[in-house]
Amino acid sequence: MKKLIKMKKIILSMLTLSTIAFSSCGEKDSETKTVETETESVEIAKVSGTYHVAESSVVTWSAQSYKDTVPEHVGTVAISAGSIVVENDAIVGGEFSFDMASILESGEPNDYTIMLQNHLMDTSFFFVADFATSSFTLNSVEGDIAAGSLEVLGISKEISFPIETTISAEVIAAKANFDLNMLQFNLPYLLEQDTLPEAEKMEATNPTVTFQLDISASKAH
């Protein structure tokens, strides 16, 4: 009888130890999950702030006649000031100014490129004496489409174009390549060319200009 009682005590002791061990394991799993959850919440912090476009940034443009299959003229115009605003990892706005006196054709200057630059700056095109800058107000970037308002010669038009952006805590990179019909800004030379008879149109300047953008902007501190 004494042996039976002793055996029962041993079995009860083993069951008690097993229960304590199982309970302890359950408590450790719970603590680990809590730590993991707290770690994940720290990792999803989002980026916000204002970024300034790097100095010496430019927009590249290319233009041609209707008859051309490749651009006849390729040049740049300087971004004199630019900023991009980010909220929670999303671009929500921006402002860009373009120095129209800097519009020029790429390559070494010669008599022809200087003549072309003067032609673009006079009253045939951009009236630089009266409109020293053009501007673009970026209103949004939804997916891979940027939308905003472009002002040229005091005329403002809503435009949109495809764009690739990369956003980090310190830098934004943006690339775009798109066509824009410049007739909508009433540039006199283009308006005149547009009225030519169809037989002469192939020699005329195509008002659709291709623009390329490849810029970086740094976080303001």
Burial class (CB in 10 A: 0-12, 13-18, 19+), 197: exposed
Q: How much is the pLDDT for 108?
A: 87
DSSP state at residue 65 = B
Q: Between vectors from CA 107 to CA 105 and to CA 111, what angle results, nearest 5°?
A: 70
Mean pLDDT of 129-145: 97
**What is the rounded CA–CA span in Å between residue 52 and residue 61?**
22
What does the domain layout of the chain look like in residue ranges? Answer: 1-45, 49-219
Domain 49-219: CATH architecture, name and number where available: Beta Barrel (2.40)
Among residues 18, 23, 107, the alpha carbon closest in space to that of 62 is found at: 107
Q: Over the stretch 15-70, which tens digit does the pLDDT of each residue have?
A: 343 433 333 443 333 333 333 445 455 555 789 999 999 999 999 999 999 999 99
Q: How much is the pLDDT for 220?
A: 78
Q: Over the stretch 58-78, which tens digit does the pLDDT of each residue have?
A: 999 999 999 999 999 999 999
**What is the rounded CA–CA span in Å between residue 98 and residue 79?**
5
Going by C-beta distance under 8 Å and a sequence separation of 6 or more, which residues neighbour residue 167?
A: 47, 86, 89, 91
Q: How much is the pLDDT for 43?
A: 58
Q: How much is the pLDDT for 45?
A: 75
Which position has the higher pLDDT, 1 or 153? 153
Q: What residue ranges in 88-170 does DSSP mark as E strands?
A: 90-105, 133-142, 145-152, 155-167
Mean pLDDT, the chain, whole residue set: 85
